[in-house]
Amino acid sequence: MDIRRRPLKSSRTARFSAASGVHSGTKASDALPLPLYLTNAVFFTLFFSVAYFLLHRWRDKILNSTPLHVLTLSELAAVCSLIASFIYLLGFFGIDFVQSFISRNELEASEVRGSIVLREEYPDRADIRCSDFSMDRPAIKPLCSVEDEDIVKSVVSGETPSYSLESKLGDCFKAAQIRREALQRLTSRSLDGLPLEGFDYDSILGQCCEMPVGYVQIPVGIAGPLLLNECEYSVPMATTEGCLVASTNRGCKAIYASGGATCVLLRDGMTRAPVLRFPSSKRAAELKFFLEDPLNFDSLSVVFNKSSRFARLLRIQCAIAGKNLYIRFSCSTGDAMGMNMVSKGVQNVLDFLQNDFPDMDVIGISGNFCSDKKPAAVNWIEGRGKSVVCESVIKGDVVAKVLKTTVPALVELNMLKNLTGSAIAGALGGFNAHAANIVSAVFIATGQDPAQNIESSHCITMMEAVNNGDDLHVSVTMPSIEVGTVGGGTQLASQSACLNLLGVKGASHEAPGANSRLLATIVAGAVLAGELSLMSAIAAGQLVKSHMKYNRSSKDIAKIGS
C-alpha cells in the first residue's frame, strides 16, 4: 500500500486538474478537447455573453411586467451555460484566491496533523519515518511528532541553537534529523539525496564531526593484491575518480608479477612547533641554546612524555625570527597519527619552561613550523609522521605485457616529467605523477585526516634501467606520511572495516606503533603501483583513451538529469 502523501498542487494547471476532477497524474490539457488557453477563452466568452444576454432579457421582462421565473428555452440554456462557466472559472481561479489566505504556519500545522493521522492509520508500520513523507516543497517536511515539530520551529527561529541539539535531546540521530529539517526550512533547499539513516551519529559525537545533517557516500574500490615485504594486501581506495582504482590495480599486478615491492620505514615522528615571543632576540636565543643542549634533553623528555604512555620525545629543532622562537618538537606517537598527543606534550614542556623563562610569551601552540596541512619545505626535508622509501624491480617482460610500454620510455618520461618538469614548475615535494590520488583515496577509506594529504603526498619517484637495461628499478620516497590506526576517523565503522581488511585495525598490542607504521608502508606501496601504471599509460599514450573509457560515463547525462 502506498503510504506516501500525494503532492500538493502548486501550479495553476495542477489546481485546475484537482478542481475539475482530472487525475492528478495527467495534465489538465491532456484531459480537455482544446488547449487550456482556448478552453479558458471559450468559458470566459460564454460567461460574459450569457450574463449580458440574461440581463437584457430580465430588463425587458421587468419593463413588460413578465414574471422573472417564466423562462423560455433560450433563457434556460443561457442560465445553464452561466452556471457551468461560473463553476469552471471558480475552479480555475478561485482556489488560488482561497489558498492565498492560508498562512505558512497553518500549512505546517496541517502537515503535522497529517503525519499524526498517518501514524494512527498505520500503527503496525513502525518503520514509517519522517523521510517517508514526500511533498513537492521539500523545505517543509513533517516530523514524527508535535514535540519534534516544536523543536524544529525553535531551531528555525533561533531560540534553540542548532549545536545544542545533541545535548538537549540526548539522541544523536534525532538531533541530526531535526537539524536537517530546520536547515531545509531555513534555506528552502532540499537535502534529498544526502542520506540520514544508516549512520551511527553517536560514534562521531565530540570526536569527528559537529552538527551533522547526514553523510556523504563515497564508493570504495579494491586494488591488489599488493605484494609488499612478502605480504599481500588488498588496498581499499575511496574515490569517485574513474580509472584510479583500475590503474593502481594494474600497477599492483606488475609489482606482483615481478616478485613484489620492498618498503622501509626511515623515520617516525609527529611534530608540533609553538611560537614564543621574548623581549629580545638574545633571550630567544638563550632558550634555543637551552633546548638544543643534549644535556637538557632527558629532563625535557620526561616532562613531554607525561602526555601519553605512547608519546616519546625524539627531537627538538629551533628557528628564530627576530625575538620570536619556533620550537619544532618531534615525537613518536604509537599507533595514533599523534597530533593531539604531541600537542599535549608540547603544552607540558611550555609549562615547565615558564619557570626558568618567565619572560617567554606563548603566542600560539602551533606556529606553522610544524607544519600541518600546508605545503612546507620543512616536512619535505626533515620529515613528518612516517618517512618511507618503497622500491621494486619490474621485469622487462612485465613492463611490456602488463604496462604496455618499455623500460627506456619509462625512464625517459620520469626524468623529463617527474624530475625536470617538476623542477621547472618549482614543485615542493611534487616530484611524482599522482601520489596524491592514491594517498587521498586510501586516507578517506581508512579514516585518516584527508587534509594531511598535502604533506603526506610529498613524493619523489625515481626510475632507472637495471640488469643491463632489461628491467626497471622504480622507487617512491615519501618523507611525511601522516597516518594512524587509532583515534580520529579510524574508529568509525566503515573506516575501521577498511583498516581491518589491511590487518592494521586499532592499536597493535605486541608493538605499539606497528599498525600505523605498516599502514604507512602500504600507502607507499600503493603509491608505487599508481606511479608505475600512470607513467606507463602516459608513456604509451593511453592516458586520454583510458580516461575517456572509465572516467567519462557513456550514460546519457541528459536522461539521468531528467
Q: Please say if 210 is a catalytic residue.
A: no
Q: Which residue, 488 or 525, is less far from ligand ADP as judged by CB?
A: 488
Which residues, 509 to 528, sit near ligand ADP by CB under 6 A?
512
Contact with ligand ADP (CB under 6 A) among 269, 338, 479, 489: 338
Q: Which residue, 389 or 445, is less far from ligand ADP as judged by CB?
A: 445
Give the span between the Cα atoms of 494 and 516, in whole angstroms.
Answer: 18
What count of other Cβ atoms lies within 10 Å of the Cβ of residue 408?
Answer: 13
- Name the nearest CA neighbour of 370 among 331, 428, 312, 321: 331
Q: Please say if 547 is a catalytic residue.
A: yes
- Name the nearest CA neighbour of 143 among 167, 166, 135, 152: 152
Query: Residues with Cβ < 8 Å from 182, sequence gap 6 or more?
Result: 152, 155, 156, 162
Interaction of residue 486 with ligand ADP, rule CB under 6 A: yes
Q: Which residue, 224 or 269, is less far from ligand ADP as judged by CB?
A: 269
Q: Which residue, 304 or 310, is less far from ligand ADP as judged by CB?
A: 310
- Name the nearest CA neighbour of 364 among 393, 392, 324, 400: 324
Interaction of residue 310 with ligand ADP, rule CB under 6 A: yes
Contact 241, 192 (CB under 8 A): no
From the list 71-79, 249-257, 327-335, 546-554, the region that binds ligand ADP by CB under 6 A is 327-335
Helix or strand run (H / E) with residue 378: helix 377-382
Grid coordinates of 507: 592499536
Contact with ligand ADP (CB under 6 A) among 183, 337, 349, 460: 337
Q: Please say if 449 is a catalytic residue.
A: yes
Grid coordinates of 109: 500545522
SS (H, E, C) 294-336: HHHHHHHHHHHHCCCCCCEEEEEEEEEECCEEEEEEEEECCCE
Contact with ligand ADP (CB under 6 A) among 236, 260, 269, 334: 334
Catalytic hit among 75, 132, 171, 241: 241
Interaction of residue 455 with ligand ADP, rule CB under 6 A: no
Grid coordinates of 241: 575518480
Q: Which residue, 224 or 489, is less far from ligand ADP as judged by CB?
A: 489
Contact with ligand ADP (CB under 6 A) among 260, 429, 484, 489: 484
Contact 318, 468 (CB under 8 A): no
Contact 216, 193 (CB under 8 A): no
Interaction of residue 78 with ligand ADP, rule CB under 6 A: no
Q: Which residue, 432 or 516, is less far from ligand ADP as judged by CB?
A: 516
Interaction of residue 339 with ligand ADP, rule CB under 6 A: yes
From the list 192-200, 337-345, 351-359, 384-392, the region that binds ligand ADP by CB under 6 A is 337-345
Which residues, 488 to 507, sit near ligand ADP by CB under 6 A?
488, 507
Q: Which residue, 111 or 335, is less far from ligand ADP as judged by CB?
A: 335
Grid coordinates of 101: 489566505
Q: Please say if 458 is a catalytic residue.
A: no
Catalytic hit among 149, 449, 455, 482: 449
Interaction of residue 326 with ligand ADP, rule CB under 6 A: no
What separation in angstroms does the CA of 465 have from each of 68, 394, 411, 471, 472?
112, 10, 7, 6, 5
- Name the nearest CA neighbour of 446 among 332, 341, 337, 333: 337
Contact with ligand ADP (CB under 6 A) among 238, 276, 341, 535: 341
Contact with ligand ADP (CB under 6 A) among 13, 40, 49, 340: 340
Residues serving a catalytic function are 241, 373, 449, 547
Residues in contact with ligand ADP by the rule CB under 6 A: 308, 310, 333-341, 484, 486-488, 507-508, 512
